[in-house]
Amino acid sequence: MSSDSPDPSRSGLHSESATLGDASPILDSGSHQVEGWVTASPPKFLEVLQHVFSFPKLLVRHRDLITTSVRRELAARFSGTLLGWAWPLVTPILMFAIYFFIFTQLLSVKFGDLPEDQKSAMGVFMFVGILIWTAFGESVVRCTGVIVDNGNLIKKVAFPTEVLPLNQVLVALVSMVFGVVAYIAVTWITPLFGLHIWEPPQWTALLWALVLMPLQVMFTYGFGLMLGTLQVYLRDTLQVVTVGITVWMFATPIFWTPELIIREDGTRGLPDQWAWVLDANPMYHLVYSWRDVLMSREPAMVFHQPIETSIITFAYWAVGSFVVGYTFFLLARRRFADEV
Amino acid sequence: MSQNAIEAEGLGKCYRVYGGPMQRIAEGLSFGTYTGHRQFWALRNVNFGLKPGGSLGLCGPNGAGKSTLLKMLAGTTTPTEGRFRVGGRVSSLLELGAGFHPDFTGRDNILMNGIMMGYSKREMVARTEEIIDFAELGEYIDEPVRVYSSGMGLRLGFSVAMAVEPDVMIIDEVFAVGDMYFQKKCVDKVYELKKNNKTVLFCSHSLYDVRQLCDEALWIQDGAPAQIGDSVDVTNSYSSFQRTHIAEVKHEHEEEQAADDKAAAKIGSASSQILPRVLDARIYIPGTDEELYQVGTGESMEVRIWWVNPTPDLTPIQLGVGFFRPDTTTVAGVGSHIDGHPVTGESGCTSITIENVAFLSDQFLIAVILFGGEGTHQYQQYLMRENLVVTHKTKDVGMFMLQRTWKDRSELPVPDDAPAIREGTVGSQADVPVSNSDDEGGVE
Pairing verdict, β B90-93 and B294-296: unpaired
Q: What pLDDT score was predicted for residue A18?
A: 33
Who contacts A183 (Cβ-Cβ below 8 Å, separation ≥6)?
A127, A128, A131, A294
Write the residue in A23, A158, A233 that is nearest to B76 by C-beta: A158
| A25·B94 Cβ contact <8 A | no
| A22·B89 Cβ contact <8 A | yes
Q: Is A10 in CB contact (< 8 Å) with chain B?
A: no
DSSP string, B333-381: EEEHHHHT--B-SSEEEEEEEE-S--BPSEEEEEEEEEEETTS-SEEEE
Rounded Cα distance, B167 and B50, in Å: 12
By residue range, what is the domain housing residue A207? Answer: 43-339
Query: Taking a contact as any Cβ pair under 8 Å apart, which residues of chain A between 146 and 165 contact chain B?
Result: 152-159
- Write out pLDDT tens, residues A135-155: 999 999 999 999 999 998 898
CB A98 within 8 A of CB A196: no
Residues of chain B with CATH 3.40.50.300: 6-238
Q: Is A1 in CB contact (< 8 Å) with chain B?
A: no
* Domain identity same for A79 and A194: yes
* Domain identity same for A255 and A283: yes
Instruction: Collect contacts of B145-148 with beta carbons under 8 A, ≥24 apart.
Output: B145/B97, B145/B100, B145/B101, B145/B102, B145/B103, B145/B104, B145/B105, B145/B106, B145/B109, B146/B102, B146/B103, B148/B106
User: What torsion, rounded to 10 degrees, do the Cα atoms B430, B433, B438, B442 define?
Assistant: 170
* Domain identity same for A14 and A114: no
Q: What pLDDT score was predicted for residue A247?
A: 95
Query: What is the tally of structural domains in chain A?
Result: 2
Task: Tell me the mean pLDDT in the region A81-93.
Answer: 77
* Domain identity same for A20 and A119: no
User: Which of A50, A55, A24 minimizes the C-alpha distance to A38?
Assistant: A24
A70 contact residues in B (CB cutoff 8 A): none
Go through B423-432 and write b for each residue having 16 or more CB atoms within 10 A of its CB, e for each that does not. eeeeeeeeee
Q: What pLDDT score was predicted for residue A261?
A: 75
Go through B193-215 and write b for each residue having 16 or more CB atoms within 10 A of its CB, e for each that does not. bbeeebbbbbbbebbebbbbbbb
Q: Which of A30-39, A326-335, B43-52 has the lowest mean pLDDT?
A: A30-39
Q: What pLDDT score was predicted for residue B326?
A: 66
The pLDDT of residue A119 is above 80: no
| A13·B86 Cβ contact <8 A | no
Q: What pLDDT score was predicted for residue A186?
A: 84
A157 contact residues in B (CB cutoff 8 A): 76, 92, 94, 98-99, 116-117
* Domain identity same for A168 and A250: yes
Q: What pLDDT score was predicted for residue B274?
A: 63
Task: Tell me the mean pLDDT in the region A79-91.
Answer: 77
CATH class as words, domain B268-391: mainly beta
Å between B114 CA and nearest CA of chain A: 9
CA B251 to chain centre: 24
| Terminal-to-terminal C-alpha distance of chain A | 41
Q: Is B101 in CB contact (< 8 Å) with chain A?
A: yes
Query: Taking a contact as any Cβ pair under 8 Å apart, which residues of chain B between 10 and 69 contact chain A?
Result: 12, 15-16, 21, 24-25, 28
Q: What mean pLDDT, rounded, does chain A reach? A: 81
| A233·B28 Cβ contact <8 A | yes
User: Which of A164, A171, A170, A173 minimizes the C-alpha distance to A144?
Assistant: A164
Rounded Cα distance, A287 and A285, in Å: 6
* Domain identity same for A6 and A60: no
Rounded Cα distance, A57 and A55, in Å: 5
* Domain identity same for A209 and A144: yes
- Residues of chain B with pLDDT > 90: what percent? 10
ipTM: 0.77
Å between B132 CA and nearest CA of chain A: 13
| B87: nearest CA partner in chain A | A22
B86 contact residues in A (CB cutoff 8 A): 23, 26, 38
The pLDDT of residue A14 is above 50: no
* Domain identity same for A32 and A180: no
CB A26 within 8 A of CB B170: no
Which portions of chain B are predicted below pLDDT 70?
1-2, 32, 175-180, 208, 243-274, 326-328, 375-376, 422-444
B92 contact residues in A (CB cutoff 8 A): 157-158
Q: What pLDDT score was predicted for residue A33?
A: 55
Strand ordering across the sheet containing B224-230: B90-93, B168-172, B199-203, B55-59, B216-221, B224-230
- Chain A interface mutation, best of B116, B132, B192, B203, highest count of A Cβ atoms under 10 Å: B116
| Terminal-to-terminal C-alpha distance of chain B | 48
pLDDT band at A212 (very low <50, low <70, confident <90, very high): very high
Go through A21-55 and write b for each residue having 16 or more CB atoms within 10 A of its CB, e for each that does not. eebbbbbbbbbbeeeebbbbeebeeeebeebbeeb
Task: Tell me the mean pLDDT in the region A66-84.
Answer: 84
* Domain identity same for A15 and A51: no
B130 contact residues in A (CB cutoff 8 A): 9
Å between B52 CA and nearest CA of chain A: 15
pLDDT band at A10 (very low <50, low <70, confident <90, very high): very low
Backbone angles phi and psi of A249, in degrees to 5 = -60, -40
CB A65 within 8 A of CB A159: yes
Write the residue in A32, A157, A337 that is nearest to B98 by C-beta: A157
Q: What pLDDT score was predicted for residue B260?
A: 54
CB A207 within 8 A of CB A313: no
pLDDT band at A170 (very low <50, low <70, confident <90, very high): very high
Residues of chain B with CATH 2.70.50.60: 268-391
* Domain identity same for A7 and A49: no
| B78·A20 Cβ contact <8 A | no
| B87·A22 Cβ contact <8 A | yes
pLDDT band at A266 (very low <50, low <70, confident <90, very high): confident
* Domain identity same for A17 and A100: no
* Domain identity same for A144 and A247: yes
| B77·A5 Cβ contact <8 A | no
Who contacts A219 (Cβ-Cβ below 8 Å, separation ≥6)?
A136, A282, A286, A314, A317, A318, A321, A322
Query: Taking a contact as any Cβ pair under 8 Å apart, which residues of chain A between 211 and 250 contact chain B?
Result: 233-236
Instruction: Identify the bridge partners of residue B279 per DSSP, sorted by sequence position.
Output: none
Q: Is B84 in CB contact (< 8 Å) with chain A?
A: yes
pLDDT band at A169 (very low <50, low <70, confident <90, very high): very high
Who contacts B340 (Cβ-Cβ below 8 Å, separation ≥6)?
none
Q: Is B99 in CB contact (< 8 Å) with chain A?
A: yes
Who contacts A162 (Cβ-Cβ below 8 Å, separation ≥6)?
A58, A225, A326, A329
The pLDDT of residue A191 is above 90: no
pLDDT band at A23 (very low <50, low <70, confident <90, very high): very low
Q: What pLDDT score was predicted for residue A242?
A: 95
CATH superfamily of B6-238: P-loop containing nucleotide triphosphate hydrolases (3.40.50.300)
Å between B177 CA and nearest CA of chain A: 17
Å between B163 CA and nearest CA of chain A: 9
- Residues of chain A with pLDDT > 90: what percent? 35
